[in-house]
Structure 1
Amino acid sequence: MLATKLKVRPLPKQAILVVNAMSRRGADAFEEVRTKLIDAGVELLEAHAIDQPEQMERTVQDAIAKAPMVILGGGDGSLSTNVDLFMGKDTVFAFVPLGTANSFAGTLGIPKDIDGAIAVIASGTRKRIDLGCIDGDFFVNAAAIGLSPMIAKTVPHNLKRYLGMVGYLLWAIRCAFEFRPFRMVIEHEDGHRDKVWATEARIANGTHHGGVEILENHEIDSGEIVIQAVTGTSVWGLAWSWFATVLRLRSRHGTTCEFRGRRMRLITRPELDISIDGEIAARTPVTVSVARGAIEVAAPEDGQFTT
């Protein structure tokens, strides 16, 4: 029996560009992104560089009403903050990664450089993906509990802007001195409860966090949300887990445990902040869930960037 090949749905050629000029590279990259999109054959109906936070949501909302595709330029936080606006719409969600970690780009296999990201927008395909949800707040990639929110809450903006991931690493070392492990309880839909001591927890819709692949057997259209815990009570254990994950050592699998489902209740003792794609946006206890096939995104065709 012959396999049926799924029809590739091309991306629209008309779009509106909205760049968060407050993101790490947004202000400097706006003109370059605009020019290269036009050169790649994308007809830009409008192009906006937003330097006032209160203007971003309204600008994106207006763009969705006017164009078949809206291209956001910014970091993971910018994408998650505005993704709710695309739900229930036919507008394609496209983006150029201009942040620090750009984890969502890693999840979708989109190059993190401007030229590569524009190549996806110009010649990629539509892909319907899930969104994660924490107490009604939808997000594209991953949320975190533990050291990551401490960093997100306190890192100086200029340190992040000028040093990028190096700045995050330096600030992480500083925050580690205030680190405390926590008790985590996961309540499943069938009533089962799991309890673990953790040094960090990730609520993952995507596969990357902090710019690093943390889930190797997960798809962003699987219909499941994943809670991954770095187990133990030692900050050195957390450091080793990150080290082993970055270097893809075999021992990395022994530093975490994972819980999967469509809907779970997450409780921590003590109650803790949650950073959602790099922005503090919730606090435990929370209900985490998945919105299956919530939006269409611009994604690479299979093998488009395989080396």
Structure 2
Amino acid sequence: MKRCLLIINPSSGQRTIQNSLDKLTGQLILQQLVNHIDVFYTKKKDDAYNHVLNVDEKNYDFIIVVGGDGTINEVVSGMVSTNKKIPLCILAAGTVNDFANYLNLPNQVDKVCAMIKQFKTLCLDVGKINDRYFMNVAAGGMFSDVSFTVSKADKKRLGPLAYYINGIANLPSQLNTNIDLKVVIDNYETKEFEAKMFMVSNTNRVGGFDRIIPYADVQDGLLDLIIIKKCSVTDLMTLSKDYLLHKHAKSPFIFYTQAKKITISTKQELVIDIDGEEGSPLPVTIEVVPQALNILIP
């Protein structure tokens, strides 16, 4: 039998997950999947990150994290920055859960226990942005600040709808966003853009939408950069239609490439989103860390 560390964010968006924790721990013991569980509750930002930094991986066979993309990011950052290879089990309890949904990870206790019993792992890449890490996306510009400007109360009360309401309420200012970007790709190709927004992604799911980054793959050793160029509202509507038809990557309003290292700068003040949390101001250097993390999958 195994020993596990259970890290829980009690303020995560989905209270139903929190109410299932007794069932989870009970089933882990009852099914003899573990013989020891240490539980750690986060109280504030970076608690999960700091706790994982000090974990001795010899003490555990795997880690379970219960929380949203932000909490998962903290755990992953702590593991990757200290080169811990303990398998990670994710029980998504956030508002959008992009990373967990991309991997089709279960959020029902019985299915999570079945996944732990099977103990099948996937070794995947993560992104590094300056001195931080991300599993899913780093983004800046139009609508990229929505995820960290919505209040926790609204997230709990409205779920993903809170993001859409915030975006609509600030639609005029969001649509007027324009950024002058300088992008260096793999240290040799430099491009400049007038842009609405950019995303550097490890997966193809962003903001609850599938296939936003159509060719992203967490095992290809590359990050995917997509830039929406400066365009009119009418052009954005056309681009939205192209997305629904799965052909937006070839739109004249899109720049799309894959790279191992991307440097992005601007003369404007711009703070980016990292896995749904407020991140670093530009300039940033973003690079892939190949095969950095072992994840339990169904």
* Pairwise same-fold verdict (TM > 0.5): yes
Query: 3-state DSSP class of the match of 2:73?
Result: helix
Residue 195 of structure 1 is matched in structure 2 by 192
Counterpart pick for 1:94 among 80, 89, 95:
89
Distance of aligned partners of 1:193 and 1:20 in 2 relative to their CA distance in 1, 3 Å threshold: same
Q: Do 2:119 and 2:296's aligned partners in 1 also have CA atoms closer than 8 Å?
A: yes
Mapping of residues 1-307 of structure 1, within 5 Å: 13-25=2-14, 27-38=18-29, 41-43=32-34, 44-53=36-45, 55-61=47-53, 63-65=55-57, 66-87=59-80, 88-179=83-174, 180-213=177-210, 214-234=212-232, 237-238=235-236, 241=239, 245=243, 248-253=244-249, 254=251, 256-300=254-298
Structure 1 unaligned segments of length 5 or more: list them: 1-11, 301-307
| Structure 2 counterpart of 1:123, one-letter code | Q
| Structure 2 counterpart of 1:80, one-letter code | N
- Scaled by the length of structure 2, the TM-score of the pair is 0.85
Query: 3-state DSSP class of the match of 2:11?
Result: coil
Distance of aligned partners of 1:17 and 1:142 in 2 relative to their CA distance in 1, 3 Å threshold: same
| Structure 1 counterpart of 2:117, one-letter code | A
Distance of aligned partners of 1:32 and 1:256 in 2 relative to their CA distance in 1, 3 Å threshold: farther
Mapped to 2, the partners of 1:36 and 1:148 lie a distance apart of 41
| Bigger Cα displacement from structure 2, 283-292 vs 177-186 | 177-186
Mapped to 2, the partners of 1:51 and 1:29 lie a distance apart of 19
Query: 3-state DSSP class of the match of 1:219?
Result: coil
* CA displacement, residues 172-221 of structure 1 (integer Å, 9 cap, x when unaligned): 11122222122222112353222233222111112211122222322101
Alpha-carbon offset, residue 232 of structure 1? 3.0
Q: Do 1:15 and 1:71's aligned partners in 2 also have CA atoms closer than 8 Å?
A: yes
Mapped to 2, the partners of 1:203 and 1:86 lie a distance apart of 21
Alpha-carbon offset, residue 151 of structure 1? 1.2
| Structure 2 counterpart of 1:170, one-letter code | I
| Structure 2 counterpart of 1:50, one-letter code | T
Distance of aligned partners of 1:298 and 1:146 in 2 relative to their CA distance in 1, 3 Å threshold: same
Alpha-carbon offset, residue 123 of structure 1? 2.1
Alpha-carbon offset, residue 241 of structure 1? 4.4
- Scaled by the length of structure 1, the TM-score of the pair is 0.83
Q: Do 2:2 and 2:60's aligned partners in 1 also have CA atoms closer than 8 Å?
A: no
Q: Do 2:201 and 2:216's aligned partners in 1 also have CA atoms closer than 8 Å?
A: no
* CA displacement, residues 132-176 of structure 1 (integer Å, 9 cap, x when unaligned): 011121111111112344213421211111211111110111122
Q: Do 2:65 and 2:75's aligned partners in 1 also have CA atoms closer than 8 Å?
A: no
Alpha-carbon offset, residue 250 of structure 1? 3.6
